[in-house]
Amino acid sequence: MTADAGRHAQRTAGPDEELRGDKLVGPAGGLVPGGLDAASLRADFPIFGREIDGKPLVYLDNAATTQKPLAVIEALRSYYERDNANVHRSAHSLGARATLAYEGARAKVRDFIGARHQGEIVFTRGTTESINLVAASYGRANLHAGDEVLVTEMEHHSNVVPWQIVCGQTGARLRVAPLDDRGELILEQLERLVTERTRIVAVAHVSNALGTLNPVREITRLAHRRGAAVVVDGALAVAHLEVDVRDIDCDFYAFSGHKAYGPTGIGVLYGKAALLEAMPPWQGGGEMVLSVSFEEATYDTPPHRFEAGTPHVAGAVGLGAAIDYLAALDFAALVAHERDLLAYSEAALCSVEGLRLVGTAAKKAAVHSFVLDGVHAHDVGTILDHQGIAIRTGHHCAQPVMRRFGVAATARASFAAYNTRDDVDRMVAELHGVKRIMGRCGT
């Protein structure tokens, strides 16, 4: 994707607005030009041509992974059929072509999230590996006994466990900012928890379990006033919001390709150049060194210092194709479309007797978690699956969130660009009958 001059324009948003490229979109979606024809968009995704148990597929598990457009699938196939080779230092044509494609994808990511330099973009296996890299490299080098790492009560396990590990290794302490009953951060308490001992604040841009959209720009300002570094888990944000890392001013930002219409096994860590340059390697091997003897090794500069071994070249190529696909959409229309689905599905879900939404933040991405009285979430998911409807059930790798709301698991419906109101109607129609079905089964 070439840089869009309007995409990361610096503008001031009001208290009830969020920056979306060159447009300010209010909490109700606001007025947007044109529109998103989701029904036609589905033709770009081959998987929607299949059926489940003889029923047309309704896919509402996008917070776990999105489906892939034909453009991404063809990019992967073309790479393997025409350009497959290892990258960097190859003397042959295929190696040069593979390197151009790999580094070209890095440039697309840079532009997509508004990074300043290509060297600030590190390819990883996904959000989990990106956060582990920061914890193991930056965390070990900068945390000491008595220091504190602050996370929130809504974090995915991937933004909790790596910090627990590094705190155990360094003697630092993990602290937790609480949520209110709607699933929103209590910012006053978070601010009080950021002290002179705080070295790292790690926060989700969007909660995978609740859909809550966090004010990461404001949190970054609070943390920086105390000298703390900010790590943002952007796994559920980049395909649904305009993300500008320079506007947020976070120190690190992590996301996964597979949640943004790209392949599995490829992810991104953005880090400010000065921080990456000061960080020691996380893994050792080929590609991340300039010279090696049995006495010592001289490490390469970022991002290569953090990409030991043969990288997932095809994954990077596929991610680049996914970014191109997203860039071709009217992103303001996409945001408005998902907000419409969120509001429409909330009203429809609340019509189901005994259904309770878990997470009702004022600002949410297109995610609804819910429980149904007397019916386990896994049973809800199984019954819907027999009708061709794919939702997520379980604790969503966010067990502290489940404990906060007093549930073992929830059912979760999450939306993407290709979803429609008809998808919502089919899901809700089946939910109305779930209790009747479970009653016949004796539960």
The residue written with tokens 């330099």 in the block is 117
CA separation for the pair 441, 428 (Å, rounded) = 20
Verify that 322 and 335 share a domain, yes or no. Answer: no
What residues pair up with 51 in beta bridges, in sequence order? 56
CA separation for the pair 367, 61 (Å, rounded) = 9
Token readout for 33 is 């030009």
Verify that 225 and 337 share a domain, yes or no. Answer: no
Q: Convert the pLDDT of each residue in 305-343 to its tens digit.
A: 999 999 999 999 999 999 999 999 999 999 999 999 999
Verify that 295 and 352 share a domain, yes or no. Answer: no
User: Looking at the domain assignment, is residue 146 inside a domain?
Assistant: yes
135 secondary structure, DSSP code = I
Measuring CA to CA, which residue among 389, 392, 396, 383 is closest to residue 419? 389
Q: What is the pLDDT of residue 440?
A: 57
CA separation for the pair 106, 269 (Å, rounded) = 11
User: Looking at the domain assignment, is residue 441 inside a domain?
Assistant: no
pTM above 0.85, yes or no: yes
Output the domain CATH number for residue 30. 3.90.1150.10
User: Looking at the domain assignment, is residue 13 inside a domain?
Assistant: no
For CA atoms 284, 285, 286, 291, give the dihedral sign: positive
User: Looking at the domain assignment, is residue 8 inside a domain?
Assistant: no
Domain that holds residue 115: 72-327
Token readout for 283 is 């893994």
Verify that 305 and 379 share a domain, yes or no. Answer: no
- Strand ranges for 385-430 from DSSP E: 389-390, 392-394, 410-414
As to burial, measured by CB atoms within 10 angstroms (0-12 exposed, 13-18 middle, 19+ buried), residue 320 is buried
Q: How many domains does the chain have?
A: 2
User: Looking at the domain assignment, is residue 291 inside a domain?
Assistant: yes
The residue written with tokens 């479970």 in the block is 438
Q: In the sheet where 367-372 sits, what is the strand order?
A: 355-358, 367-372, 410-414, 392-394
The residue written with tokens 């990883």 in the block is 124
Antiparallel, parallel or unpaired: β 367-372 and 410-414: antiparallel
Verify that 283 and 384 share a domain, yes or no. Answer: no
Q: Which amino acid is at 401?
A: V
Q: Tell me whether residue 441 is one of the annotated catalytic residues.
A: no
Q: What are phi and psi of 402, to 5 degrees?
A: -60, -45
Verify that 254 and 137 share a domain, yes or no. Answer: yes
Verify that 261 and 380 share a domain, yes or no. Answer: no
Verify that 231 and 139 share a domain, yes or no. Answer: yes
Around 339, how many Cα atoms within 13 Å sit in the side-chain half-sphere? 20
Q: In angstroms, what CA-CA distances link 418 with 49, 73, 74, 80, 363? A: 13, 17, 19, 27, 22
Output the domain CATH number for residue 177. 3.40.640.10
CA separation for the pair 125, 45 (Å, rounded) = 23
Among residues 298, 327, 356, the one where a domain terminates is: 327
Verify that 56 and 77 share a domain, yes or no. Answer: no
Among residues 311, 327, 343, the one where a domain terminates is: 327
Q: What are phi and psi of 291, to 5 degrees?
A: -155, 150
Give the three-state DSSP class for 193: helix
Contact 318, 296 (CB under 8 A): no
Q: What are phi and psi of 286, to 5 degrees?
A: -70, 165
Q: Which amino acid is at 235?
A: A
pLDDT tens for the chain, 443 residues: list them.
343 433 443 323 333 333 333 232 333 333 333 478 998 999 999 999 999 999 999 999 999 999 999 999 999 999 999 999 999 988 999 999 999 999 999 999 999 999 999 999 999 999 999 999 999 999 999 999 999 999 999 999 999 999 999 999 999 999 999 999 999 999 999 999 999 999 999 999 999 999 999 999 999 999 999 999 999 999 999 999 999 999 999 999 999 999 999 999 999 999 999 999 999 999 999 999 999 999 999 999 999 999 999 999 999 999 999 999 999 999 999 999 999 999 999 999 999 999 999 999 999 999 999 999 999 999 999 999 999 999 999 999 999 999 999 999 999 999 999 999 999 999 999 999 997 777 555 55
CA separation for the pair 70, 76 (Å, rounded) = 10
Q: What is the pLDDT of residue 25?
A: 32
The residue written with tokens 């660009």 in the block is 417
> What contacts 299, CB < 8 A, 6 or more positions away?
280, 281, 288, 289, 290, 305
Verify that 82 and 185 share a domain, yes or no. Answer: yes
As to burial, measured by CB atoms within 10 angstroms (0-12 exposed, 13-18 middle, 19+ buried), residue 5 is exposed
User: Looking at the domain assignment, is residue 23 inside a domain?
Assistant: yes
Among residues 270, 294, 327, the one where a domain terminates is: 327
Verify that 283 and 346 share a domain, yes or no. Answer: no
Given the residues 167, 250, 350, 397, select the one marked as catalytic: 397
User: Looking at the domain assignment, is residue 193 inside a domain?
Assistant: yes
Verify that 53 and 92 share a domain, yes or no. Answer: no
Give the three-state DSSP class for 186: coil
Q: What is the pLDDT of residue 382?
A: 97
Q: In the sheet where 267-271 sits, what is the strand order?
A: 121-124, 267-271, 252-256, 229-233, 198-204, 148-152, 173-177
Q: What is the pLDDT of residue 435?
A: 73
Q: What is the pLDDT of residue 441?
A: 52
Q: What is the pLDDT of residue 131?
A: 98
285 secondary structure, DSSP code = S
Measuring CA to CA, which residue among 401, 354, 341 is closest to residue 380? 354
Q: What are phi and psi of 267, to 5 degrees?
A: -145, 180
Identify the helix (H) or strand (E) that includes residue 275: helix 273-278
Cis amide prior to 303 (ω within 30 degrees): yes
Contact 36, 337 (CB under 8 A): yes
User: Looking at the domain assignment, is residue 383 inside a domain?
Assistant: yes
